[in-house]
Structure 1
Amino acid sequence: MNNQVFPVVVVGAGPIGLAAAAQLVERGLEALVFEAGDAVSAAVREWHHVRLFSRWSGLIDPAARRLLEKSDWQEPDPDGYPTGLEWATQYLQPLADALGTVVRLNTRVVGVARRGRDRVVDAGRDNEPLVVRTVSADGVEHRVVARAVIDASGTWGSPSPVGADGLPAIGERAAADKISYRVPDLTDADNVVRYAGRQVAVLGSGHSALTALVAFAGFAQTHPGTRVRWVLRRGAVGNAFGGGESDQLAARGALGQRAQVAVDAGHVEVVTGFRTSDIERAGDRLVLVSDDGRRLDAVDEVVAVTGFRPDLSWLSEVRLDLDARLQAPVALAPLIDPNVHSCGTVYPHGVKELTHSEAGVFLVGMKSYGRAPTFLALTGYEQVRSVVAAIAGDHQAAERVDLILPETGVCGGAGLFDEPVSDAGAGGCCGVPAPVELTLTASPRD
């Protein structure tokens, strides 16, 4: 059977999904982009208030730029740092408009399989196309036959729980009304009411946590009585503030420096070595309890920015080769595993690292990183360029990788969070650059 007569389905109309569509259109391949939200870049719009670490020059896919240049689109200042809202309205929405009917909103993908074969069946599998099951906003189900599936759905919809063992803490679900799993917009009127004058626990050690700390430190200055407690699983703050002046993403380095100033000035209380196991109600407040029995003073609100994880449930009928720890493609996982890399080493990669046993199925973007915490938009653009080239049969282009990523200058992997991190070698030690988290920090971030 000639699978080339069928479209390539892209799941998710975010930055990487739309870039994949632009690459497909440029190569003359039929594409369909299914977006569960009622607008393109729905996840990006949810963190509209966050400013990215990367400049505009690192946020626009080359094929997307070539497509947009055919319209009256005005490219933003390449040296500017956009907010999530600006990224969505000044680039991603115009790109979706240029792609036209390729993009289908309010369409959730709920399953992918090999036509007529569940994952157990070998016979005839290589001769059948893929089928993609979708559900529209009104609940109507559809089946789409596809040549290939590029999953760029990200991880935004699956935040990691508070519980340090990867499961929700006992009592976490019951306390959901007091827990936010995103960096809150503290200019929003409802959030001002929610957090002003309250005691807030921020959980997490990544750039999202630093963003929250900086935001709340400033918020506390204009809203007296607001107090912030930073709760870390690692045994010491160590390198959690990042690379500072050594970071080639200057805005990311500056964020860490601002967070350190807030802590050093006493605006943020730090608790280390605390692995949450239970959350208890104390009237309208919450008490965090660690697995060693430690109890923190009650707080009014919890901001849990402890990472994200991929939703693999609707891919259960295709054969994915995933690393047991990170839930990332097995060939990619060793490059991004925080338990192994003290310098966050990752090099640009493509179809070679993203191929699975199930032919024609590719996880790209943040989804491809599984539970690894950091990602750079440029990395995703390079991924989809390579994947689409392979789908088109241009194997020479698929194997070619031409991309230089910014060096983080930060040493010390997340796998050492129980131990104080030595400062030895900090500052530009990394031979190859670390990626930066794509969707979860604040001013500025990427």
Structure 2
Amino acid sequence: MTLIDLTPPTTLAPRLQALPVAIIGAGPIGLAAAANLAERGLDFVLLEAGDRIGASVLQWGHTRLFSPWKHLIDPAAQRLLLDQTDWVAPPGDSLPTGAELVARFLAPLAALPAIAARTRLGVDVTDVSREGMDRTRTAARAQAPFLLRVRTADGVEELTARAVIDASGTYRSPNSLGSSGLDPLGFDEVAELVSHALPDALGHDRAAFAGRHTVVVGAGHSAANTLLQLAELAEQDAGTRITWVIRNATAARVSTSPDDELRARASIGARVDALVAAGRIELVDRFEIVRLARGGDDGASVVRITGRRGDGLETISADRIVNATGFRPNLDMLREIRLELDEIVEAPRRLAPLIDPNLHSCGTVEPHGFAELTQPERDFFIVGMKSYGRAPTFLLATGYEQVRSVSAWLAGDAAAARNVELVLPATGVCSTGEPGEAGEPGRAGAGGTACCS
């Protein structure tokens, strides 16, 4: 493991003193980072690829989180809102949708002058490096500003920063449908028939699913939420059919303990199981997709899904596929950054043992902060859902503590940075318990509702 400098930046190199901290992503964790930096008087710029605050969250805005408001509001953000506006915190025990999370918390926070003046929308960060240095050059590296290449409506430009907090999440980087981690053969032929996780089957996307046969692929809470929506749609349109495809023998991650403090989460698995038992959802287990192809008389309207099951191959025909197999971090943008990531879950090396989905559920992850997130690239941090790599155990409250600690460290407050504390709700099973099942984070940190939000 690389020796990493954990001393706080009490004195910045002259070239860095006038530069802001760059925050990538204006979702819950990125905005919490902005709130913590603003509270400490540190300059920053908040860069969001979407055209509005919480753009990824709004893509699943119809979905109700199973964490109540009391676990969804960052403490520093709440202090700023209460101090500077007439904002009223939502009832702590109520469950918001993603759209309500944005409207009642993220949007008011983003509108604070200290944050709004430093926010740029429609700015997609495509690459991060050091000014004048690729990843191989070491001399005076920590004194060189970060260089962010971004794409906007006006073209490509470059920005410089003293530090970078990558809170870009994973929602825009779904896992593949293939159990190999690769797209199945023939994917490009049917790509327009494959929906992202958590489509709005009862609203905006209804026409794509009503009266049609949909195959939902995935064994986590994103899949379960979609199955529940489609089952409700099937009550309204009798021609709607649902098949649920999982790779293992059971969908263990959907099932949680009856003692789960997050009651809404505890009920999801039971509701899906009841629908399967009643024959309203067809469950196909131990199915590994290897090939997709056009089917049907017109060769266009149906996708044929061929997979290994047991010793042979089976084929399922459907009108649409929902890819609810989880997400992975986009590391392409960080090719010139020196990273130390776990070789399995692609999380920061020191964090990975704390979030291993084979050992931990959402509520058993230990508090952690800048020390576990620090990379060989000084002053560069991956936080939020992206910091969990492919692990499905993320909670928003965990991300809020991450950015509190990182902000304290960047401000030179070593004591506050090291004093990490976090009280999480008691949870049930958020991991598969079975090796080989791809991790499926939820929307709340990447936006994350699915596993834990």
Is TM > 0.5 for Structure 1 vs Structure 2? yes
Written as runs of structure 1 = structure 2, the 5 A alignment for 1:146-185 is: 146-185=161-200
CA contact (8 A) 1:111 1:315 kept: yes
Secondary structure class of the residue paired with 2:225: helix
**Inter-partner Cα distance in structure 1 for 2:431 and 2:217:** 19
Q: Which ranges of structure 2 fall in alignment gaps of 5 or more residues?
A: 1-12
How far the C-alpha of 1:21 sits from its partner, in A, is: 0.5
CA contact (8 A) 1:244 1:254 kept: no
**Inter-partner Cα distance in structure 2 for 1:275 and 1:377:** 32
**Inter-partner Cα distance in structure 2 for 1:412 and 1:42:** 27
**Inter-partner Cα distance in structure 1 for 2:62 and 2:285:** 29
Choose which of 67, 71, 80 in structure 2 pairs with 1:67: 80
Deviations 1:328-380 (A, max 9, x none): 10011112222x41656411211011000000000000110111123111010
How far the C-alpha of 1:129 sits from its partner, in A, is: 2.2
Hey, what does 2:5 align to over in structure 1? none
CA contact (8 A) 1:248 1:408 kept: yes
Choose which of 128, 133, 138 in structure 1 pairs with 2:149: 133
Hey, what does 1:90 align to over in structure 2? 104
CA contact (8 A) 1:9 1:146 kept: yes
Deviations 1:392-438 (A, max 9, x none): 110110111121112222286454368xxxxxxxxxxxxxxxx9762
CA contact (8 A) 1:209 1:441 kept: no
Written as runs of structure 1 = structure 2, the 5 A alignment for 1:276-291 is: 276-283=289-296, 284-291=301-308
Hey, what does 1:423 align to over in structure 2? none
How far the C-alpha of 1:272 sits from its partner, in A, is: 0.8
**Inter-partner Cα distance in structure 2 for 1:412 and 1:229:** 23
CA RMSD, Structure 1 to Structure 2 (Å): 2.0
Choose which of 112, 123, 127 in structure 1 pairs with 2:128: 112
CA contact (8 A) 1:12 1:34 kept: yes
**Inter-partner Cα distance in structure 2 for 1:74 and 1:343:** 32
CA contact (8 A) 2:393 2:431 kept: no
Choose which of 60, 65, 77 in structure 1 pairs with 2:91: 77
Choose which of 208, 228, 231 in structure 2 pairs with 1:194: 208
CA contact (8 A) 1:375 1:437 kept: no
Choose which of 5, 12, 15 in structure 1 pairs with 2:28: 15
CA contact (8 A) 2:37 2:44 kept: yes
Instruction: Assess, with a 3 A threshold, how the Cα gap between structure 1 residues 176 and 352 changes in structure 2: closer, same or farther.
Output: same
**Inter-partner Cα distance in structure 1 for 2:177 and 2:153:** 31
Q: Which amino acid letter does the alignment assign opposite residue 136 of structure 2?
A: V
Calculate the TM-score normalised by the size of structure 2: 0.90
Instruction: Assess, with a 3 A threshold, how the Cα gap between structure 1 residues 342 and 400 changes in structure 2: closer, same or farther.
Output: closer
Q: Which amino acid letter does the alignment assign opposite residue 89 of structure 2?
A: E
Deviations 1:37-64 (A, max 9, x none): 1101000111110111111111111111
Hey, what does 1:427 align to over in structure 2? none
How far the C-alpha of 1:144 sits from its partner, in A, is: 2.2
Written as runs of structure 1 = structure 2, the 5 A alignment for 1:33-432 is: 33-69=46-82, 70-98=84-112, 99-139=115-155, 141-188=156-203, 191-237=205-251, 239-283=252-296, 284-291=301-308, 293-338=312-357, 340-341=358-359, 343=361, 345-410=364-429, 413-416=432-435
How far the C-alpha of 1:20 sits from its partner, in A, is: 0.2
Between stretches 73-82 and 197-206, larger displacement belongs to 73-82
**Inter-partner Cα distance in structure 1 for 2:348 and 2:371:** 10
CA contact (8 A) 2:254 2:430 kept: no
**Inter-partner Cα distance in structure 2 for 1:18 and 1:411:** 26
Between stretches 129-138 and 376-385, larger displacement belongs to 129-138
Instruction: Assess, with a 3 A threshold, how the Cα gap between structure 1 residues 351 and 342 changes in structure 2: closer, same or farther.
Output: closer
CA contact (8 A) 1:183 1:440 kept: no
**Inter-partner Cα distance in structure 1 for 2:145 and 2:60:** 37
**Inter-partner Cα distance in structure 2 for 1:276 and 1:242:** 23
Deviations 1:164-218 (A, max 9, x none): 10100011121111111221212225x3222112111110001001111111111
Q: What fraction of aligned residue pairs are identical, expressed as a percent? A: 46
Deviations 1:226-285 (A, max 9, x none): 111110100234x24321422121111112221111112111111111110101211221
**Inter-partner Cα distance in structure 2 for 1:412 and 1:325:** 15
Deviations 1:282-316 (A, max 9, x none): 12211211146422331111111000111111111
Hey, what does 2:4 align to over in structure 1? none
Secondary structure class of the residue paired with 2:172: coil
Secondary structure class of the residue paired with 2:271: helix
Instruction: Assess, with a 3 A threshold, how the Cα gap between structure 1 residues 193 and 152 changes in structure 2: closer, same or farther.
Output: same
Secondary structure class of the residue paired with 1:63: helix
Instruction: Assess, with a 3 A threshold, how the Cα gap between structure 1 residues 262 and 440 changes in structure 2: closer, same or farther.
Output: farther
Q: Which amino acid letter does the alignment assign opposite residue 326 of structure 1?
A: V
Instruction: Assess, with a 3 A threshold, how the Cα gap between structure 1 residues 240 and 124 changes in structure 2: closer, same or farther.
Output: closer
CA contact (8 A) 2:127 2:333 kept: yes
